[in-house]
Structure 1
Amino acid sequence: MVHIVTKSKLMMDTVVEIKVVTSLSLPEVEPVIAQAFEAFRNVEQACSRFTPDSELMRACQQIGTHVQISSWLFQPLKFAMEMAEWTQGIFDPTIGKTMETYGFNRHYLTGETLSNLAEDNASYRDIVLSDDDRTMYLHKPLVIDLGAVAKGFAIDLASRMLANFHGFVINAGGDLYAGGLDETGHAWRIGIQHPAHKNQIIDAVEISNEAVCTSGGYERKSKVREDIHHIINPNSKQSPHELSSCSIVAPYAMMADVFSTVVCLYGLDQGKRLLNEMQLKGILVTSKYHVERVGGI
């Protein structure tokens, strides 16, 4: 007899909910779910821009020297760097200082704010990663923001721990991975939140062994400037407004996570071209709340 076990914790500035479909007893299930939550804790400790003693922030203090970093930090940073290269800097993990300037620098638990020294013209080209010895080298002071990849990375790690269950969903504030089948033996039906109405669903997708991640300007707005949200073009230092939300379906959460941000930055036409080129699926909601489905959803 299968049943559902659900657990949730506050991590990475959001509520992380893990739901598993299983015939096992609670004492058998709970340690596995605890292991999945541990993946989130490890990634947060490595990648947080909001904690002065995170591995990322300690490494960012060391300019002009090769700093060895853990795989918890190296893997998402490498993926962010590849995306920066591929988009020619439209997506850039060195956006952190701009984020701080617009007030995105408050720790969700302590309320403390961070402000770091960084050069205005810093870009991803000022970061050098070495696969051979897993080191990072910074040419100049900068602040790395891994907000578009770290949560997806944590979801992917946690999903490996849960792979033996009949089915499971890891939902980290709307970014999620759904494995296997739901308790009725069907693919998981995932609702896409309406950008203007928090408790309404604007569309839905059915997925199994896939991720769906959503980015949108409605999620976090700047208290410094009302036209700025947490997705910012590193060249113009402005936020895009053509799309109010981008939900991307991909084989992995880290991929869905970063592409949802990139498509928001690109806008509707270029975003659709990108998704078709990458053979990814998406639900794009325009600023007038018109829904555009891409990739045969």
Structure 2
Amino acid sequence: MPFKMHSIKLEMGDDMEIKKTKLGMGTFIEIQVVDANPEQLRQMEISVDRAFQIFAAVERVCSRFSADSELSKASRKVGVAVQISPVLFETLRFALEMSRLTNGAFDPTIGKTQENIGFNRHYLTGLTINTPIEAKATFRDIILDEAARTMQLLKPAVIDLGAVAKGFAIDMASNELRLFEGFIVNAGGDLYAGGLDESGSPWKIGIEHPDREGHMLGFVRLSNQALCTSGSYERISPNSPGVHHLINARTKRQATQWSSCSIVAPYAMMADAFSTAAFLLEPQDAEELINKANLYGVMFTSDQQIRRIGDGLL
């Protein structure tokens, strides 16, 4: 996270507000905190800075784009049980559970397939990665040992944790801010809304229309909940026009049934992973997945239809 975009302190009646934005994890991260106690201002600034440090730390662990990340180093030791950090272990464990729930449509070993279609450039350095392996591994080739906290790869693989690591970082950053009356941690539209806004109400969050910039599919009111969205419009291959990054690992083809999938969940790693998983599934399977987890989804189909799944929050 090399630079700070802006820092704002505002007085809103009896409330204090801080907003800061930084670049990290391939997107802009904005943190907003509100509190009525002016004596909290210094602590607000300290906690916001710590929250940004968490994003940087998670990126150092989980990035597949950096050869020096913990994930990249561990992945190079095929056939060996490698002890890994709690951050890497927990994100991997959650990703593998999502793989089992979707019978492999969601799969963290999709990284090599993503490299092959052009998603292999570091957003800061511009350097590209072309790992000299074939895309043959599946999630079943990642073995985790909880007692020893180790990871073992049975086959060479490029592991991509993009669908869980950002959500994990949002959750950990949010934990730094819970002593305040209200806050939002927003990483490129994936967010956690804690407490209440400056008016004492749940935060009003818009769900962006995937095809009409500036328009919303609807709004949700959130307090101590996360909202994450996966969309075909988010990342397009520089090598293959029209090809997006959401690839079904079973078919090795991009999912085409949805334009966007937004999920409301109790925490961001769950919302992040379920929005990606639902995007990869056929409508009936996606609906079953969301309902079984007791989540709420707003889905926009490729033929311009809105589908709401679960208990409505709009």
Match of 1:10 in 2: 23
What letter corresponds to residue 282 of structure 1 in structure 2?
G
2:173 pairs with 1:165: no
Offset, 1:129:
0.7
Counterparts of residues 1-297 of structure 1 (less than 5 Å): 1-22=14-35, 23-24=37-38, 25-297=40-312
Offset, 1:33:
0.5
User: 1: CA distance between counterparts of 2:34 and 2:160?
Assistant: 35
- Contact kept, 8 Å, 2:16 with 2:41, in 1: the verdict is no
What letter corresponds to residue 199 of structure 2 in structure 1?
T
- Contact kept, 8 Å, 1:42 with 1:72, in 2: the verdict is no
- Contact kept, 8 Å, 2:99 with 2:106, in 1: the verdict is yes
User: 2: CA distance between counterparts of 1:179 and 1:193?
Assistant: 20
What letter corresponds to residue 278 of structure 1 in structure 2?
A
Question: What secondary structure, in the 3-state scheme, does the structure 2 residue paired with 1:214 have?
Answer: strand
Gap regions ≥5 residues in structure 1: none
Offset, 1:46:
0.1
- Contact kept, 8 Å, 1:181 with 1:188, in 2: the verdict is yes
User: 1: CA distance between counterparts of 2:125 and 2:81?
Assistant: 31
Question: What secondary structure, in the 3-state scheme, does the structure 2 residue paired with 1:285 have?
Answer: strand
Gap regions ≥5 residues in structure 2: 1-13
User: 2: CA distance between counterparts of 1:118 and 1:68?
Assistant: 23
Question: What secondary structure, in the 3-state scheme, does the structure 2 residue paired with 1:148 have?
Answer: helix
Q: Report the TM-score when normalising by structure 1.
A: 0.97
Offset, 1:227:
4.2
Single out whichever of 249-258 and 69-78 deviates more from structure 2: 69-78
Offset, 1:7:
0.6
User: 2: CA distance between counterparts of 1:290 and 1:64?
Assistant: 46
What letter corresponds to residue 196 of structure 1 in structure 2?
D
Question: What secondary structure, in the 3-state scheme, does the structure 2 residue paired with 1:128 have?
Answer: strand
Single out whichever of 180-189 and 195-204 deviates more from structure 2: 195-204
Offset, 1:38:
1.1
Match of 2:8 in 1: none
Equivalences, count = 297
Offset, 1:111:
0.5
What letter corresponds to residue 19 of structure 1 in structure 2?
Q
- Contact kept, 8 Å, 1:210 with 1:249, in 2: the verdict is yes
- Contact kept, 8 Å, 2:295 with 2:311, in 1: the verdict is no
Q: Report the TM-score when normalising by structure 2.
A: 0.92
Residue-by-residue CA offset, 1:94-122 (whole Å, 9 max, x unaligned) = 00000000110100011000111233321
User: 1: CA distance between counterparts of 2:125 and 2:213?
Assistant: 26
Identity of aligned residues (%): 52
What letter corresponds to residue 277 of structure 1 in structure 2?
K
Residue-by-residue CA offset, 1:133-153 (whole Å, 9 max, x unaligned) = 111111121100001000000
- Contact kept, 8 Å, 1:96 with 1:144, in 2: the verdict is yes
User: 1: CA distance between counterparts of 2:28 and 2:43?
Assistant: 23
